[in-house]
């Protein structure tokens, strides 16, 4: 089974987000980078499926040369091959990103064997656009399910499950297909030492796709005005419990 899993390099944000002085980007001089959380699960799912059914989990990212780091993270936990669609650091919208990924899928299908399954994270942590998987599926004419938290593959049939407002929705369709997954579908493993060494040595496939504008233009980023305050300290340790009980009474949450 040939699986392509697509990941995006995003800043690792901890306690707070800082904007660059020009108001255009997230300040990343002090932060590390990682793939988006949903995508860590997409990589894990791809590795599990190829361990079960054979074949290769190929990991792809579209981003600056430094995004090779995220490909190596995926290779370290068991992906077999990495593809970097290299950009000049500009932000790519969902239409241009989907076009570049579609091109990569067709490039693989031309000599064959093509991919059976494309996995994405449901949405990237930074932009949250929720579109690239669907747009790729549509341009390939493949079925697609999004927001998936449970995935079964039985021969050439995909059964994908998600929750919607307290109801479980199950989608069933044939391969080849596109599935976007959410954190919770699995618990990603930690890379092993041999895995890391293999990832470090791996040769990455590289292409330079063409950027295009897509009609939605960012003019600036802002941190929203938030409730910032200092908590009223009720006390320390178990001695604070009477004050805590009184406060819960005042808030009206005691039954």
Indicate the residue among 109 and 134 with the shorter CB distance to another protein. 134
Can you tell me the distance from the alpha carbon of 177 to that of 165, in angstroms, rounded to the nearest whole number? 25
Beta bridge partners of 150: 161
Can you tell me the distance from the alpha carbon of 59 to that of 16, in angstroms, rounded to the nearest whole number? 30
According to the binding rule CB under 8 A, does residue 247 interact with another protein?
A: yes
Indicate the residue among 165 and 201 with the shorter CB distance to another protein. 165
According to the binding rule CB under 8 A, does residue 31 interact with another protein?
A: no
Indicate the residue among 201 and 217 with the shorter CB distance to another protein. 217
According to the binding rule CB under 8 A, does residue 126 interact with another protein?
A: yes
Considering the complex, what minimum distance in angstroms separates the CB of residue 201 from another protein?
A: 28
- Cβ 89 vs Cβ 56: under 8 Å: no
Dihedral sign for Cα atoms in the order 211, 214, 220, 225? negative
Q: Which of 64, 69, 171, 196 contacts another protein by CB under 8 A?
A: 171
145-164 positions binding another protein, by CB under 8 A: 145-147, 149, 162-164
According to the binding rule CB under 8 A, does residue 201 interact with another protein?
A: no
Closest CA to 4 of 72, 70, 83: 83
Can you tell me the distance from the alpha carbon of 243 to that of 250, in angstroms, rounded to the nearest whole number? 11
203-242 positions binding another protein, by CB under 8 A: 214-224, 226-238, 240-242
Stated length of the chain = 255
Can you tell me the distance from the alpha carbon of 66 to that of 185, in angstroms, rounded to the nearest whole number? 28
Q: Which of 34, 79, 144, 199 contacts another protein by CB under 8 A?
A: 144
* Residue labelled with tokens 């790729």: 136
According to the binding rule CB under 8 A, does residue 193 interact with another protein?
A: no
Q: Which of 1, 109, 134, 175 contacts another protein by CB under 8 A?
A: 134
86-105 positions binding another protein, by CB under 8 A: 93-95, 98
- Residues in the interface with another protein (CB under 8 A) total 87
According to the binding rule CB under 8 A, does residue 19 interact with another protein?
A: yes
Can you tell me the distance from the alpha carbon of 4 to that of 39, in angstroms, rounded to the nearest whole number? 12
């Amino acid at each position: 089974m040939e699986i392509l899993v697509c990941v995006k390099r995003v800043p690792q944000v901890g306690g707070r987000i800082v904007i660059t002085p020009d108001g255009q980007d997230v300040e990343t001089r002090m932060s590390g980078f990682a793939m988006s959380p949903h995508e860590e699960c997409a990589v894990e799912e791809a590795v599990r499926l190829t361990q079960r059914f054979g074949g290769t989990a190929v990991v792809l990212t579209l981003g600056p040369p430094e995004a090779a780091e995220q490909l190596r993270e995926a290779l370290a936990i068991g992906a077999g091959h990495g593809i970097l669609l290299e950009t000049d650091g500009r932000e790519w919208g969902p239409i241009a990103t989907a076009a570049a990924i579609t091109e990569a899928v067709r490039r693989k299908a031309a000599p064959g064997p093509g991919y059976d399954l494309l996995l994405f994270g449901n949405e990237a942590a930074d932009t949250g656009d929720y579109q690239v998987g669907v747009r790729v599926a549509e341009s390939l004419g493949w079925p697609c399910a999004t927001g998936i938290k449970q995935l079964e593959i039985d021969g050439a049939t995909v059964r994908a499950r998600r929750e919607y407002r307290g109801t479980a929705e199950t989608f069933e369709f044939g391969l080849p297909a596109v599935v976007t997954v959410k954190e919770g579908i699995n618990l990603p493993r930690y890379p092993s030492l041999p895995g890391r060494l293999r990832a470090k040595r791996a040769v990455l496939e590289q292409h330079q796709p063409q950027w295009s504008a897509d009609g939605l233009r960012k003019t600036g980023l802002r941190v929203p005005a938030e409730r910032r305050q200092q908590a009223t300290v009720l006390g320390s340790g178990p001695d604070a419990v009477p004050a805590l009980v009184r406060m819960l009474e005042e808030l009206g949450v005691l039954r």
